[in-house]
Amino acid sequence: MPEPTYDVIAIGNAIVDVMAPCEDALIAKLGLNRGGMTLVDTERAKELYDAMGPAKEISGGSAANTLAGMASLGARCAFIGQVADDQLGEVFAHDIRAAGIDFETEARESDPPTARCLIFVTPDGERTMNTFLGASQFLPTDALSEDAIRDAKVLYLEGYLWDPEEPRGAMRRAISVARDAGRKVAFTASESFVIDRHGDDFRALIDEAQIDILFVNEGELATLTGKSDFESGLDALKDKVPVLVATRGPNGAVALAGGERAEVAAQPVDEVVDTTGAGDLFAAGFLTGHVRGESLERSLEMGAICAAEVISHYGARPEAKLSELVAPK
């Protein structure tokens, strides 16, 4: 195979984040799942938007955030995701291209509108996300650029997008294309509730050796393996996934690969402003290190630095130039 054009091509939700600070009392009043992510319908999305204070709109989506971080690190990236032919769809497309990421998926001309995530940020920096998936859940298989998938070192898939049927079929096809081309497949579990719904699918992909790099946080690891003990969860997966990355928030992260284990502490942060995107940017740093042939420990360190940057401000995409932050001192 020729040298790939892209380091990573990702498939994920094409979402615009709408973020606003709030007090804990509003979280309780609205009956929100504090610190979690809840899918909402059109009516609930309108109710929550009306209850928000002054908000800031920033393009988001888990896999797209990861690519934004990778692009800031100098990686070559492409994104596949569905927007509608509307104002937020234009915002998303502009933002991702402006970050230096190739994005060629055609906008959908009919309803529903482009996806949006309504994010309430409490004073401790915790984010409570309420996601209206809109057009993003109608990504068809024929929207895939199979040549681009073959032309990337790694195909990166977002667990959130496994929920709706149409993009789930598209991702299964993308896995087949990538594996036939000898490329690696990376997968992020995204959230425990996604594993609750589709854990059998995820475990089958793992057992069938379809996933080369798996990202989970501590809670997702427990849900996926049924092991409440962190080390037992790692043991359950370490021989099934070539590269396993498990994040533990302020307690750092662990990676296992080929009998090797590496750990890293969380990077110090003066103030945690907003934890939105911490996992996405950790994946950005780690994947960039991985495709460059860095060690497990160095890749984890890059992930921790990127995560620390994104939680120091509002929004799930980096504001600093990450390539400068991760450069060896």
DSSP string spanning 67-93?
HHHHHHTT--EEEE---BSSHHHHHHH
Residue 60 confidence (pLDDT)? 87
* Residue 29: burial class (beta carbons within 10 Å; 0-12, 13-18, 19+): exposed
Torsion over CA of 307, 308, 311 and 312, rounded to 10 degrees?
-150
For the chain, what is the mean pLDDT? 94
Say how many CA atoms lie within 13 Å of 326 toward its Cβ.
29
Compute how many other C-beta atoms are within 10 angstroms of the C-beta atom of residue 324.
9
**pLDDT grade for 297, boundaries at 50, 70 and 90:** very high
**pLDDT grade for 63, boundaries at 50, 70 and 90:** very high
Q: Is the pLDDT of residue 163 over 90?
A: no
More confident site: 19 or 329:
19
Residue 77 confidence (pLDDT)? 98
Architecture of domain 6-13+61-112+138-326: 3-Layer(aba) Sandwich (3.40)
Could you tell me which of 55, 285, 61 has the C-alpha nearest to residue 158? 61
Cα 108 to Cα 90, 105, 134, 199, 324, distances in angstroms: 11, 9, 11, 30, 38
Per-residue pLDDT tens over the stretch 206-261? 999 999 999 999 999 999 999 999 999 999 999 999 999 999 999 999 999 999 99
The stretch 162-169 carries a mean pLDDT of 92
Written as six digits, the tokens of 114 are 């482009």
Pairing of strands 102-103, 6-11: unpaired
Q: Are 128 and 33 in contact (CB under 8 A)?
A: yes
| Residue-range domain boundaries for the chain | 6-13+61-112+138-326
DSSP state of 124: T
Cα 41 to Cα 38, 46, 131, 198, 293, distances in angstroms: 10, 9, 8, 20, 43
User: What is the spatial distance between Cα 132 and Cα 44, in angstroms, rounded to a whole number?
Assistant: 9
User: What is the spatial distance between Cα 178 and Cα 173, in angstroms, rounded to a whole number?
Assistant: 9
Q: Is the pLDDT of residue 1 over 70?
A: no
**pLDDT grade for 110, boundaries at 50, 70 and 90:** confident
Identity of the residue numbered 166: E
User: What is the spatial distance between Cα 53 and Cα 328, in angstroms, rounded to a whole number?
Assistant: 41
The stretch 121-140 carries a mean pLDDT of 91
Written as six digits, the tokens of 140 are 């068809």
Q: What angle do CA 139, 144, 149 make, to 5 degrees?
A: 135
Q: What φ, ψ does residue 320 adopt, rounded to 5°?
A: -90, 165
Residue 2 confidence (pLDDT)? 74
The stretch 81-105 carries a mean pLDDT of 95
Written as six digits, the tokens of 49 are 């938007």
Coil vs helix vs strand at 214: strand
